Structure 1
Amino acid sequence: MDTALVSQQAPALSDPPAYVRALEDKLVQYLPLAQVARVRRAYEVGAHAHREQKRKSGEPYITHPVAVASIMADLGLDHETIIAAILHDTLEDTELTRAELAAEFGEPVAELVDGVTKLDKLQFKSRQEAAAESFRKMLLAMARDLRVILIKLADRLHNMRTLGAMEASARRRIARETLEIYAPIAQRLGMNKFKGELQELGFRGMYPDRHRVIETRIKNTLGNRREAMAKIETALIARLASEGIVARVVSRIKSPFSIYTKMKNEHKSFTQVMDVYGFRVVTDSVMRCYHSLGAVHGLYKPMDTRFRDFIAIPKVNGYQSLHTVVVGPFAAPIEIQIRTEEMDSVAERGVAAHWAYKSGGAQGNAAQSRAREWVEGLIDSQARTSSSLEFIENVKVDLFPDDVYLFTPKGRILALPRNATALDFAYAVHTDVGSHAVAARVDRKLAPLRTKLVSGQTVEIITAPSAQPHPQWLEWVVSAKARTAIRHHLKRLQHEDAVELGHRMLDRALDQVGISLEGISSEMLDRYLAENKFRRLEELLADIALGNRVAEHVATQLLRLKGGKTRLRVSRTAESIRITGAERGVLTFANCCHPLPGDEIMGFMTAGKGVVVHRLECPNVPEFRKTPERCIAMEWDRDVSGDYKCELRVDIQNKPGVLASVAAAIAESNSNIENVEYQDRGLMSAIIVFTIEVRNRKHLADVMRRVRRLGVVHGVYRHPV
């Protein structure tokens, strides 16, 4: 459909509704009339496209996108964003196509609308995965143009304002998603006004009764506080004026959501939370901010350790302000924020502040530049993450306020999430630094990588070329960047291990039918890979190791391609696959029998899990023998490395201190205890099962011998026997 046809199907409206005229009244204040006319045209196209659709409230559907555009107009966004806001649901819900939008309104508008469009038409395994993939697409579209997220946030804000028309279950689901995802995104982008309203509406949607009770108590409390607040405000204005400082002083009232959060997280009563007065001082320059701080501290005594300078060290979302807490005239704390007009605008609107005045090549305000840094980090994260659900979990970790500010030895400031460790810091410096980290110096003192950091520390990372991530590191980190990088490295190692084990398994299977992998021509091998949709031999080998293909079947098929007789079997015994201990990523050691180095073992192929190793004495082995093509001859290598899990059943006298004595004996044998469970307990005796880690059968025998020597032990057995 070309532009003429779009115009023909969407007739011009000479007398638009009042809500469209209200939008245009906002736009004429900062946009040229020609651009306002383009917005009117977008309304005409959108109204025609949505003409048959109604909202849950019964209103015409077009009222929603116009309301979203109106929210964008309040932020002073450009005409392309306003047009995209009006048309943001057309690709998903109407017959309009992307090409038609591009032809009528230009490629930038079509790109914005496409970025906001959800992925409902795709098929996913679950609703959760569909939501995750939709969210992932939104964030990646945002990487191309930050205006995408602004439209999405405005869309969510209007949906929350009209949430009352939805069913109760839908209200709770949408409210939870708003509190967990959209409000934190608004905060991460510095848009505190959006964040505050989204949190309030989300709290009311999730917990309507709690919201109503707190809101009523706030109204009752404020009636008694007005005189005190007026007295403090007058004193602040007079003190600033005496110092020659021109400033606005605004009182701040806590919202029901912030009060509820403080009551819940800090275990405070409503009275304790409300017994704090809040004011904001807005002046014209940074120097005036520090001058105002001195004036305020001269008026009221500051509380020790309650001062924060976010002007010198801005928050990760670009927020800047001085925060101080002083003791007021009624012995109540007074929280005061001091900032410039520019900082106040950025604090309220974040990345949207002064958008209309920002040229394409300019850096923009602090919130905009920091938002771009965050988005670039998201791009790197998604490239390393195959699962949408894993990606969204990483993003959720990153969305909550960064609370720890740290210094590199050269004075660079890095912001990390609360409870961040030295390992998080290493990955924040660079992925390669994190992957090769061995220790850290925190304020010049040597510290392990799992050390938790606090604001103001100087951290230096010590690296070694031979060092590499291991699974335990995932327990030490809290930042999304570190978690993603470690998982990516471990997956790559697992793939390499799978390829190596799959190679051994296929070699063994080919040897049974009398051929070798080297004896198959590259043309024949490429043909087999193409027929089975493998791009490389490594993918086939990994698939075998992961149990998705049986090595014997692959060997038979390759023999057939080579022109050999498929029934040919060589009489010699197949060579066993040796376990060295390096295959942990693709081998699983069965919990039913806990095999140890020194045990006679076999492997059983399980789709998706790969090879599961069992003792030959395991009671499940006879059942496995019924599918011999999935059974694999295995044995331990002479030099096996690593620790292996097993269970000890200990019969003891049931009296105080016995458990501690047995645990101490196990620990003295250089064995780690993973779990302790009472299996039976009587008046005189008890049976305890210890899950421990040992190197091999000999090590287990040493542990059992030391435990057996205790006078309070009746017997020690390997469990299951």
Structure 2
Amino acid sequence: MADGSPEPVLFSPRAPDLAARVRAYNPKSDSALIEAAYAYAQHAHGEQRRHSGEPYFTHPLAVAGMVVNDQLDDATIVTALLHDTVEDTGSTLPEIRRLFGAEVADLVNGVTKLTNLQLSSKETKQAENFHKLILAMAEDLRVVLVKLNDRLHNMRTIKHMRPEKQVQKAQETMDIYAPLAGRMGMQSMREELEDLCFRILNPEGRSSVIRRFITLKNETGDVIDRTVEDIENLLTAAGIDALVTGREKKPFSIWRKLDEKDGEFNRLSDIFAFRIITKSEEDCYAALGLVHRRWNAVPGRFKDYISQPKSNGYRSIHTTVSGRKARRVEIQIRTEEMHEVNETGVAAHWSYRDGIRFENPFAADPANWLQSLREDLDTAENPSEVLEHVKLEMFSDQVFCFTPKGRVVKLPRGATPLDFAYAIHTNLGNSCVGAKVDGQRRPLFTRLRNGQSVEIISAPGQTPQASWADLVVTGRAKTAIRRFARLEERASQIRLGREFARAALDKVDKSLSDRAMATAAERLNFSDADDLLRALGAAEVTGNQIVQALYPELLSLEELGPNTTRKDGVIGLTQGQSAQAAPCCKPLPGERIIGITWRGRGVQVHAIDCPELVAFDESPDRWVDLRWGAGESLGNHTADLVTTMANDAGVLGRLCSLIGEHHANISDICIEDPKPDFYVVRLSVDVRDVTHLSRIMTAIEADSAVTEVVRERRSETRS
């Protein structure tokens, strides 16, 4: 039409059917809105086809049907119908907003943004996009509900795509969407997504599981029907009204258990899973008692997620017993309301019954988890840390531990007392010096188990150690430790930079001041004085650069470079010859020297004991007798030192301060071969002469933390 609205389209007979399905659980539903969205999407997609050759509109219609199965609200259903219109057709968001309202337009926009995120790209970009995914989820979780159903339908029909595209989408789904569904409490969707991916990523593994499972069924007969009948008879005799079901686990779930437990296939306890769905919580525990009296419980295979629910709202009792013919089976016991939350997760927040939102008392609001996650992610500086944090939060099974006062702390499997401390408060984690587990002192690397009581021992002066990052498993703890390490490193570099700056300024008889450093920072294009000092401490700039920025008129000698000597500084040159210090030995005033002539390059000055002179034994005509001039000791020369020192706090800072006290400047520093007890530091020190260097080396050797200091000379000639 001229006004931009779509041409009228006759409603498909299926449009009223979809609206009727919604009215069955929500009599107050706006059927006209749903039918209009149906017609709009059908017209917008027009003759578009899927890879299978089917009309493209079959996809959004299927997604809408899946959303209806979860009994969601009209806006989510309409969004499911329209979710690809802006991305794949000529439709626009303003048009969607005008025709279907702001709420639907915002939801469609959110789904479109998620679709455009290339989550399977390189890690850094993947991490950045994952952060955007979390932000979109936090704005309205219905966006991710539509996206997850969209991905599930695409995975169900993925066989029509190119093989390489199938692998890409399956890996992306396995890495991100499947665990996301699980973290949102949508367990059935997670299991189906994982198994669909398993079919593509490891077809041989899946086939082997299925073959072994068929063999097991032939050996055991109809285990499911018989076990269901046994449980029903048990409950009926006790007067407990409950629904009992049994099922086979999906191949990927079985494969994962085999991989985790490294056990025999027929020893797995959850190949067959049985559920007892009762009318009340009291009946859950009564049913548990009956099951344990009828069959032997397997030690260590009992979990009560009713009294200690998972953070995504999951509630159920899990127990494993030795059933028929001593075959282990897992039994899950829950109420009807718990079962609804366990199967649909976050979708339970938007489910309708009889025209009103149904408030399920067991449904945990994942928005709280998302908000907490956003706060943690905002503190991460490295994109790869973002992705690591998200995956750690979503992929982990949980253990429940207690504070001394009885507060429950939920942690991922494999968590340590350090994770426990950081889960309570960052300051407690930073100051942790030890822990008691169930009243006994335990190392900080102890792996915690369900039900343990943990007491954290802290001390005001304690700070996190860099090695802690390898002990913890939670994203919160890793982020806090790395953030503190970065801050400590920066503070150390600033302190070191301040000593370097003081020494460099002392050399030209100038004093260090905040105003001088602020001026130098501005002239060298640093944000502030601390940023400049950090760069100086990290050897990204030199002390001479700071002096030159503040007092350029005082560096006339240095303008020739640290390895260059003035012609009148050495005696023995002929008229017009220039001299340059050899980079291999870097001779100092006070040492015996010799010159080697180079065509077009003047004379290169070597120390008399320089090993490189051997190369010129057959060229005596190139040798020039030289000696230092009387005033050369006032110039600037560099010596390279190699120092081995104890790996203790403050040793390096003490060394740098000592050099500064001797009015020498450190022009370069490099830490090599760090070990737990010692490390090697290479220093380039600007000195006046060999006597000045000798005094500095003597002072360094006098430090009890220094085991050796030697002057280094290079073994290769540089022409």
Alignment TM class, shorter chain as reference: 0.7 to 0.9
- Is residue 424 of structure 1 aligned with residue 434 of structure 2? no
Q: Which residue of 1 aligns with 2:10?
A: 14
Q: Which residue of 1 aligns with 2:210?
A: 215
Q: For 1:120 and 1:513, locate their aligned partners in 2 and report how far apart those are by CA, in whole Å.
A: 62
- Is residue 308 of structure 1 aligned with residue 303 of structure 2? yes
Q: Which residue of 2 aligns with 1:247?
A: 242
- Is residue 446 of structure 1 aligned with residue 441 of structure 2? yes
Q: For 1:488 and 1:273, locate their aligned partners in 2 and report how far apart those are by CA, in whole Å.
A: 42
Query: Quick one: which of 69, 72, 97 aligns to 1:74?
Result: 69
Q: For 2:314 and 2:699, locate their aligned partners in 1 and report how far apart those are by CA, in whole Å.
A: 59
Q: Which residue of 2 aligns with 1:283?
A: 278
Unaligned stretches of 5+ residues in structure 1: 590-599, 607-611, 625-633, 643-694, 701-719
Q: Kindly provide the amino acid, as one letter, of the partner of residue 531 in structure 2.
A: E
Instruction: Check 1:43–1:285 CA distance in 2 against 1; reply closer, same or farther (3 A cut).
Output: same
Sequence identity (%):
37
Is 252-261 or 320-329 further displaced after alignment?
320-329
Q: CA deviation at 1:604?
A: 3.8
Root mean square deviation of aligned Cα: 4.6
Instruction: Check 1:55–1:338 CA distance in 2 against 1; reply closer, same or farther (3 A cut).
Output: same
- Is residue 696 of structure 1 aligned with residue 706 of structure 2? yes
Q: For 1:637 and 1:10, locate their aligned partners in 2 and report how far apart those are by CA, in whole Å.
A: 87
Q: Which residue of 2 aligns with 1:193?
A: 188
1:599-610 counterparts in 2 under 5 A?
Answer: 604=668
1:296-695 counterparts in 2 under 5 A?
Answer: 296-353=291-348, 355-357=350-352, 365-369=361-365, 371-506=366-501, 518=513, 528=523, 532=525, 534-546=526-538, 552-553=544-545, 555-557=547-549, 604=668, 615=682, 695=705
> Which whole-Å deviations, capped at 9, do the CAs of 1:90-139 have from their partners, x for residues lacking one?
55556655555545544444443444444898999963322222221111
- If you compute each CA radius of gyration, which structure gives the higher value, 1 or 2? 2
CA contact (8 A) 2:10 2:39 kept: no
Q: Which residue of 2 aligns with 1:714?
A: none
SS of 1:8's partner is coil
Q: How many equivalent pairs are there?
A: 611
CA contact (8 A) 1:435 1:468 kept: yes
CA contact (8 A) 1:494 1:586 kept: no
Query: Quick one: which of 114, 122, 131 aligns to 1:136?
Result: 131
Is 396-405 or 571-580 further displaced after alignment?
571-580
Q: Kindly provide the amino acid, as one letter, of the partner of residue 364 in structure 2.
A: Q
Query: Quick one: which of 147, 166, 169 aligns to 1:171?
Result: 166
Is 348-357 or 336-345 further displaced after alignment?
348-357
Q: Which residue of 2 aligns with 1:709?
A: none
Q: For 2:129 and 2:17, locate their aligned partners in 1 and report how far apart those are by CA, in whole Å.
A: 32
Q: CA deviation at 1:322?
A: 1.6
Q: Kindly provide the amino acid, as one letter, of the partner of residue 542 in structure 1.
A: R
Q: For 2:72 and 2:253, locate their aligned partners in 1 and report how far apart those are by CA, in whole Å.
A: 29
Q: Which residue of 2 aligns with 1:202?
A: 197
Q: Which residue of 2 aligns with 1:157?
A: 152
Instruction: Check 1:520–1:38 CA distance in 2 against 1; reply closer, same or farther (3 A cut).
Output: same
Q: For 1:367 and 1:699, locate their aligned partners in 2 and report how far apart those are by CA, in whole Å.
A: 67
Instruction: Check 1:537–1:294 CA distance in 2 against 1; reply closer, same or farther (3 A cut).
Output: same
Q: Kindly provide the amino acid, as one letter, of the partner of residue 257 in structure 2.
A: K
Q: For 1:459 and 1:33, locate their aligned partners in 2 and report how far apart those are by CA, in whole Å.
A: 52
CA contact (8 A) 1:508 1:575 kept: no
Instruction: Check 1:275–1:356 CA distance in 2 against 1; reply closer, same or farther (3 A cut).
Output: closer
Q: CA deviation at 1:187?
A: 1.6
Q: For 1:641 and 1:62, locate their aligned partners in 2 and report how far apart those are by CA, in whole Å.
A: 79
Unaligned stretches of 5+ residues in structure 2: 560-633, 656-663, 671-678, 687-695
Instruction: Check 1:523–1:449 CA distance in 2 against 1; reply closer, same or farther (3 A cut).
Output: closer
Instruction: Check 1:282–1:168 CA distance in 2 against 1; reply closer, same or farther (3 A cut).
Output: same
Q: Which residue of 1 aligns with 2:141?
A: 146
TM-score by length of 1: 0.73
Query: Quick one: which of 254, 273, 290 aligns to 1:259?
Result: 254
Q: For 1:539 and 1:454, locate their aligned partners in 2 and report how far apart those are by CA, in whole Å.
A: 45
Q: CA deviation at 1:477?
A: 0.7
Instruction: Check 1:519–1:179 CA distance in 2 against 1; reply closer, same or farther (3 A cut).
Output: closer
Q: CA deviation at 1:12?
A: 3.8
Instruction: Check 1:544–1:408 CA distance in 2 against 1; reply closer, same or farther (3 A cut).
Output: same
Q: Kindly provide the amino acid, as one letter, of the partner of residue 481 in structure 2.
A: I
SS of 2:52's partner is coil
Instruction: Check 1:362–1:409 CA distance in 2 against 1; reply closer, same or farther (3 A cut).
Output: farther
Instruction: Check 1:520–1:446 CA distance in 2 against 1; reply closer, same or farther (3 A cut).
Output: closer
SS of 1:469's partner is coil
Q: Which residue of 2 aligns with 1:660?
A: none
Q: Which residue of 2 aligns with 1:703?
A: none
Instruction: Check 1:228–1:569 CA distance in 2 against 1; reply closer, same or farther (3 A cut).
Output: closer
Q: CA deviation at 1:467?
A: 1.2
Instruction: Check 1:171–1:465 CA distance in 2 against 1; reply closer, same or farther (3 A cut).
Output: same
CA contact (8 A) 2:70 2:344 kept: yes
CA contact (8 A) 1:440 1:448 kept: yes
SS of 1:330's partner is helix
Q: For 1:105 and 1:158, locate their aligned partners in 2 and report how far apart those are by CA, in whole Å.
A: 24
